[in-house]
Structures are given as structure tokens and as C-alpha cells.
Chains A and B, each alone.
Chain A
Amino acid sequence: MRMSLRNISTLLGAVIVSVAAFCAIFAPLLVPHDPFAQDLTLRMVPPSWMVGGSPAHWLGTDQLGRDYFSRLIYGARISMLIGVATVIASGTIGITLGVLGGFFGGRVDDVVMFIITTRLSIPLILVALAVVGLVGSSLTVVVLTLGLLLWERFAVVARTTTMQVRTLDYIAAAWAAGCSRSYILVREVLPNIIHHLIVVATLEMALAILLEAALSFLGLGVPPPLPSWGLMIAEAKDYMYFTPWVIMIPGIALFVLVLGINFLGDGLRDMLGATRDA
């Protein structure tokens, strides 16, 4: 029973993430309409199962007459891109800092801890908004900003796990065998903490996707007319009182994707034997 429930959620997570990745990669082949094509004669058409819906637009159209289903598929592309790119950037920063601090200890570790403490005290969303607002909004700026801000969990976990690994026998053996410091870091330490970091990567990917949506919702994330799910919710906000589906559709998509990533992360945590704190 215990195994089966966890297996179901892990499987569900894997399916959700795979579907989102598939949509992201093959978006141009999957969409029935051009996601940017406006048709002012067909504005706010409800989804096909509702009264007034049209079979041509399965999820209806938005306030500019753009096909909602096509925009949703392209939105998956933006969310996945943000998630993966942010994790690559923040993972590189966080793992480097954490491994260095955990491996060398002493003064190096003090500096690493100071940087982590400082990062934690910076108001995340406000600073992200400010950077995007001041530099100008684009997909690249959002990825770089989030990458520069979301590394602290990588650093904390990499530091703790490196400290545990550092004292183990095979590291001593590598020293004794005359391996260089960088060889030991890259070939001995990193492979033995990577399973913890993969779990952190899923958490951070989910967080990055949620933050991008929040930034875009506040008008300081991905610029229009790109179909970011957060931006779709922002643009639909004025109409939500009369036609709630306009915010329900992108909102549910966002929720399901993030839930799927978290399910997958929890499953990986069990499979790889990573700790709860990771």
C-alpha cells in the first residue's frame, strides 16, 4: 500500500513532466492555430464544451481572439525553458559555492555561509521585479535573474553533503593515491552527492516556474505577446468575473505542471535515497 501510493504519484509526476516536455519541444507541430494570430471577430469564445463554444477552438479564444489551446501549448514551452535554464544557471552557482565551502571548510566556508546568509535576506520577488523592471523584460533577463537568485538551496545541500563525503575512506584513498584536488572534487565528491542535487533541481525548477508566472503576472516578467501562463492570467484578469475559465485554464496548467515536478522530485528522493532536507 505504502509503495503503491508513492509509485502512483511518482508515475503521475513523470507522465505530467513528459507531456509538458513533449508539448514544449514539438509545440509548432501540435498547435491547431498560430498562437499569435489575432482575430477580433472571434474574441472570448468559450471552450468547446460550454454554451457558445466552437469546435475550432477547443479551449476557446482570449480577449484578442487568439486560440487559447495553442497559447497554452506554447506556454508550456516557456515554462519548461525557464525551469530548465534557471536550474542550469542556479545549479552551477550553488553547487560550486556549496562544494567549495563544504570541501575546504575554514575561511572558505565562512565566506560561503556569509554569501548564503546575504542571499536569504534579500527579498526575492521584489529584487527580481526590480532587476527586470530596470534592465528591461525579456526571456533571457528573467532566466538570468532567477538563476542568480535561486541557488541557495543548491549551495546548502551541496555544502552539507560534501562535508559528509569528505571524511569517507575513498576520498582518503584518492588523496593517498596522489590525485589532485580538482580531480577529487570533480571525480570523487561530485558523483557521490549528485543524487541529492537532482532532487534539489526538481524543487528549484518548480519554484522557478512559479516565480516566472508571478513576475509575468505582475507585468515584469516575460513580455507580451509571448504566451507565458502567468501573463495569460494577467491579461485575462479583467474578464475573470464574467468568464472565470480565462484564468482557470492557464492557472490549472501551471498548478498541474508544478505538482507533477514535485511528485517526480519526491519519487526521485525515495528512489535515490536522498534526505528529506534536500
Chain B
Amino acid sequence: MAMLKFFARRLLLALLVMLTVLTISFALTRLSGDLAISIAGPQATQQDVEIIRKEYGLDRPLPVQFANWVISAAQGDLGRSFLYHEQAATLIRQRLPITLRLGLGGLVVALTIALPLGILAAMREGGALDRAIMLVAVVGQAMPSFWLGLVLIITFGLKLGWLPVSGADDWHGYILPSFVLGFSAVPSLMRLTRSGMVDALASDYIRTARAKGLSRMAVVLKHALRNAAMPVVSISAVQLGFMLSGSVVIESVFALPGVGYLGWESISKNDFPVVQAVVLFLAVIFILLTLLADLMNAVLDPRLRAS
């Protein structure tokens, strides 16, 4: 019962946030003033502007426009692109596989680096190795990702010739961008793994396990990690959301035509419906991922449901 109530509350919150984001993405495209003039372009006559205003329903009052946008968005119609003369939803669907591959690749990279380093740091808490690993986290945080991307392109793509410098023809093209995207999530995941492991290693059940004669490695990997992993798993979902929205920068650096690239392209070319659609799409994905993370936590840890 408590579980159901928690789910209902959490779902309601997600819906409210979604509605707010819908409002924000609508307001966002109205920032530039008269949309019809922007769409028509600099050479348009007053008459053209009027035709476009009617065509896109921009002559109606704002509340009506907003209601129409919400209703059609709920039905999956996110508007038509001025540039491609295609449904924004279709454009996003075409580019989604690239962004998903990139995001999942980034998550794999981030976990592969962050988990072992975080565990190692926790096992040597306060020691030289711990401090060295935490230093890596601070350095990683300071690295501008677009610049790291360019430096890797020069090094591996050009000087060594090992990897392609851009494009998504096969999986080789995803190695560098996934690494750069994943690298940006390493510091926070590593810190979380470390603090989780430090807490777990100091707890009573670990002492019991050690007292039973289990080896240190077995205790760390079997007992402590299981408990420390829970927050890491749920934060991974959130980090994946951050990475998908951070793909704007990485996709532009590596010329990967994914959703982020679509967003950037439509912003620079004043393709408002697509801007609106991509903002909404990425926000909804993030909301769903955090919802998933919360529900996962609630199922795994009954203590959370009580609060």
C-alpha cells in the first residue's frame, strides 16, 4: 500500500514536471518576438508574413496556440520542420539510434573507469592511492569536453591514424565520442562509488563477514559492492540523462548526426518547431530516467518509501 502511494505521488510529480517543461519549451520559441517574421526571412513582404502567420496558426491568441501545442504534443505531433518539411518527431526518430548508441557507450565507458577506481580508492581510504585517484576526479572535472574531443581527434585520428575523425559509418566512429562523453561522468560516479564503499566497508556486516574468515577481496566484491552499487545504479540512470542532453556538444565536435546535433542545427537555422521538439524530447527522456531511478530505489530499499 505504501508502495502504491509512493508510486502514485512520484508519477504525479513527473507529470507536473512534464507539463511545466512543455510550457517552457513553448515559451522558449516565443522569446524571439514575432515568429512569422523570423520564419518568412529577410526578403519576405508584409503579405508573405501574413500568409505564414495564418498557415502556422500564429494569428490566434497565445493561450489557444499553447493549448493546441499541448494537445498535439500529447498525441505525438511535435510540429513540422521549416527546414526539412518533415514532422519533427520523424526527424528525432531517425536520429535517435545514433544518440542512444553514443549515450550507452558513454555510460559503459564511465562505469568501466569509475567503478574500479572508486572501489580501489575506498579500499585505500586516506592513503596515497586514494588521494591520487581523487586527484584524477578533480582533473577530469576541469577538462572541457569539446576541447578533449578535438585533442583526441588530432592524436588518434590524425597523428596515429587509428580511428576515424568524424561520422557514424561503423562502430569505430563511436569510440572517441563515447569516451569523451563518458569521461565527463566519471568524477561524480567515482566519488559516489567511493563514498558508498567507504560506508559499506565500515559497517557491522562486513566485520562479521571478515570474522567468518572470508578473504578481503571476497568481502569487498560480494558484500560491500552489492550495497554500495545501489545508489550507483540509480545515479547511472540520471547520468545517462545528463549524457544524452550533453550529446549536443559532443555530436557537434565529432559531426555525428544525432538528436543533439539536430537540436544545434535547428537553433542555428531558426527551425523553431524542431528546437521546441528536441528540448521537450530530451526533457521527457530525463524525467522518465529519473522516475525509473526513483522507483528502482524504492523497490530495492524499503526504507526510502517511508519518507
Contact = CB atoms under 8 A, between A and B. Distances in A.
Contacts of A125: 245-246, 248-249
B147 interface: yes
B278 A126 contact: yes
B297 interface: no
B21 interface: yes
A50 interface: no
A53 interface: no
A68 B293 CA distance: 47
* Contact-residue bracket for chain A: 35 or more
Contacts of A187: none
A134 B26 CA distance: 13
Interface in A94-117: 114, 117
B195 interface: yes
B150 A134 contact: no
B77 to A, nearest CB: 20
Interface in B1-21: 13, 16-17, 20-21
Contacts, number: 133
Contact of A214 (B135, B145, B154, B270): B145
Contacts of B151: 247-248, 251
B282 A126 contact: yes
Given A124-B245, A126-B278, A254 B264 contact: no
A130 interface: yes
B142 A206 contact: yes
A254 B283 contact: no
Contacts of A262: 138, 141-142
Contact of B267 (A9, A206, A220, A255): A220
Nearest to B23: A118
A254 B142 CA distance: 8
Given A114-B17, A134-B29, A255 B147 contact: yes
Interface residues of B, number: 48
Contacts of A206: 141-142
Identify which of A123, A210, A240 gathers the most chain B CB atoms within 10 Å of its CB. Answer: A123
B147 A247 contact: yes
14 contacts: A114-B17, A117-B17, A121-B287, A122-B24, A124-B245, A126-B248, A130-B29, A133-B275, A213-B146, A214-B146, A217-B249, A247-B151, A255-B147, A263-B138
Q: Name the 10 nearest CB pairs between A and B, nearest first.
A: A123-B245, A259-B142, A251-B147, A258-B142, A123-B282, A133-B267, A134-B32, A134-B31, A121-B286, A118-B20
Interface of B: 13, 16-17, 20-21, 24, 28-29, 31-32, 126, 128, 131, 135, 138-139, 141-147, 150-151, 154, 158, 191, 195, 245-246, 248-249, 252, 260, 263-264, 267-268, 270, 275, 278-279, 282-283, 286-287, 290
Interface of A: 1-2, 5, 9, 114, 117-118, 120-127, 129-131, 133-135, 206, 210, 213-214, 217-220, 230, 233, 237, 240-241, 244, 247-248, 251, 254-255, 258-259, 262-263, 266, 276
Given A2-B131, A131-B31, A241-B158, 20 more contacts: A120-B286, A126-B260, A130-B29, A130-B279, A134-B31, A135-B31, A135-B32, A210-B144, A218-B264, A220-B267, A230-B144, A230-B146, A240-B154, A247-B151, A251-B147, A254-B147, A255-B144, A259-B139, A262-B142, A263-B138
